[in-house]
Chains A and B, each alone.
Chain A
Amino acid sequence: MIKIRLSWQDPVSGRQRQPLLNLPVALGSAFEQMPTQINGLAVSRMVIADNEVSGFQLLLIALADQLYAIDSPLSAGTFVNQALVRQRQLIRGGDRLRLGQVEIGLQILREPGSKQSFQTLIQPAHGQVSLGQASVGQVSSRWAPQPQAQVANGTASQGAGVGLPGKPQEEPTVQGNTANGNGAQFTSPPLESPPPVVLPLTLAPLPQGELLCPADEQAAVSQGCSRQVGFLFMRRCGRTTSEGCPHCRLQAWATAPRVERAYYEGFGRYQPGDWGYELLLKAHHQG
């Protein structure tokens, strides 16, 4: 089994953190908002103590022997190597993730003797591949994957649709390595045994011209928008409608306030050398 190591500096304490985690991995600021399991796989949940990070912001998951970062549409924006993640993005070892103000390094560790690449999502009975709305919690419907038979090396036929409801279950013919191409670091050698059935997930595309605030989505109506908003202090948006919302109106909520925040270098950071670190340290010792 392959594990990943994330490394980042805790913005509050300044300590370096380097946990070794099994996939899938959920990242966010609220432990209870992250799913405990996805499709039978236990989720490693990591709390990033940054007030710009959403409760459940990012999911690192193996799909078709490749590692993907899936960003919550309600998040305040996740960047992979300075590029904004739209829906999902292929990531590799050595990539740098940025959630809020926290930059996270990614390292992939393979256990010795392991031939298999990633522990992927095997499609369950009746072909319902789902990340599970219930388990994902308040993530909007955009997260819901759409089952779609993917052609590996162009040999699998669409009709063979593994797990398409109402059709007899058939395994597609997959020849060679399923993880060729862009995921070079995750490519495993050709397997001797028949490769596992892999059903990649495809996320529904974002509608054109839609407001970023998902206030019109059913998931958001009951709980309110879960995006982290604000300038001087971050908070959960909580709006049930996008009407009059300055963040939706600006359409550039992810970057606009941060421009001004950069006037104050190190705003919200209390690390060694920063103002307030001594006080915080003293309080921690007393507490």
Chain B
Amino acid sequence: MPCCVFPHWVALALVNTLNIREFRRTLVYQSNAPVADIQADLRRLGQFHDRLLCQYNYATVALILCISLPLLLLFALSYLADLGWLLILGFVLAAIAAGLLRNRARRCQFSRDRDRLLNQVLELLQCDMALDIPLAVELSVGHAQQAGPPVSCHPHPILPGWRVEQYRDLWFSVQGEFWDQTRFSLKLFEKTDVPRCDTDSGKGLGQGFDLILQCQVSPQVYGSLAALREQWAGAVKLPPGASLTHCEGTDQLVRLAAALPPAFTASLIYQAMIMLLLSAYQGLNLARHLAQVTPPQRSATHAAARLTPGLAQPSMPSSSRYDASQTRGGGK
């Protein structure tokens, strides 16, 4: 009996978590998969984008030809007789089809800033993640929809009877677990102000970005973060122009939020994200140092260790877990 066993990388290539039809409809990509799979999907998204662009360009050329040629044929009607009218009819139908195709391609077009930015962030995050740990990713590449309820609403400063509603549209969110068992969540929103009155609404105006990072750490690795509760704001460094809007720390949780101005390009947003992550780990690495120098009876970890057998001195997870999990497909 012949046994058909694919190499691991072939099997991975065959897995297709990206549903193009669904993506074309919603312009939202969602996945819960290892980083390599998500990156493969993002590559497919890029190919889809290129295909759409190509389709749009061809349809535009076809539309121009199908409009201009019948005009020329009008001058040659005396020579072509009835055939000329048939040709004109054919070109008109072709122009309509090309126009529909072009419109469909245009509706699905998206800027590649977001998926490229996400890919860049994933490349860096995977340095600190086990390869087979799934990552929950949501990427929205559509235009600001302002579909949901506004996050804030205030009267228009100039126009009486108008109000300004602020919407937050998700660019992408990433949730996963680092190798040190820290569960993280990184979200990037674009803020838009839309002036509205009861009967009309104005054009949305970009107001910058919100960047939110949340880390839930493992007490075995970092001990208690209580000592840093009031200190987190000092650890945060951001690029010029960005500001820290929220800073919260509990025993096991850190939540940082930053506001980025609308002038920030993708590379500056990337820099702000990395600086926010590094800021969180500047604090967490200190917490690990503190947990090691604090006498055991004062450390929350050791208090927990007394209650729970098996909790040891705060340290990084043992490499045995890593060895076992690093090779996807069972370390073939």
Contact = CB atoms under 8 A, between A and B. Distances in A.
Main secondary structure on chain B at its contact with chain A? helix
A239 B326 contact: yes
Contacts of B126: 246
A74 interface: no
B231 A279 contact: yes
A236 B319 contact: yes
Would you call the interface of chain A mostly helix, strand, loop, or mixed? loop
Interface string B252-291: 0000000000000000000100110111011111100110
Interface string A251-275: 0000001001101110110100001
Contacts of B331: 240-241
Nearest to B127: A231
B138 interface: no
A229 B127 contact: yes
B317 to A, nearest CB: 9
Contacts of A263: 239, 271, 274-275, 278
A235 B281 CA distance: 14
B323 A224 contact: yes
Contacts, number: 111
B86 interface: no
Interface size class of A (residues with CB under 8 A): 35 or more
Given A270-B286, A286-B298, A276 B235 contact: yes
A264 B275 contact: yes
Interface string B224-259: 000110010011010100000000000000000000
A233 B290 contact: no
Contacts of A243: 327
B322 interface: yes
A280 B327 contact: no
Contacts of B97: none
A232 B128 contact: yes
Contacts of B234: 275
Interface string B122-141: 01111110010000000000
Contacts of B290: 279-280, 283
Nearest to A274: B282
B104 interface: no
Nearest to B179: A235
Contacts of A159: none
Contacts of A196: none
B128 A230 contact: yes
Interface of B: 36, 123-128, 131, 178-180, 227-228, 231, 234-235, 237, 239, 271, 274-275, 277-279, 281-286, 289-290, 293-295, 298, 316, 319, 322-323, 326-328, 331
30 contacts: A12-B289, A224-B319, A224-B323, A230-B179, A232-B281, A240-B326, A241-B326, A244-B131, A246-B126, A257-B124, A257-B127, A260-B274, A263-B271, A263-B274, A264-B275, A264-B282, A267-B278, A267-B281, A275-B231, A275-B235, A276-B282, A276-B283, A279-B227, A279-B228, A279-B286, A279-B290, A280-B286, A280-B290, A287-B293, A287-B295
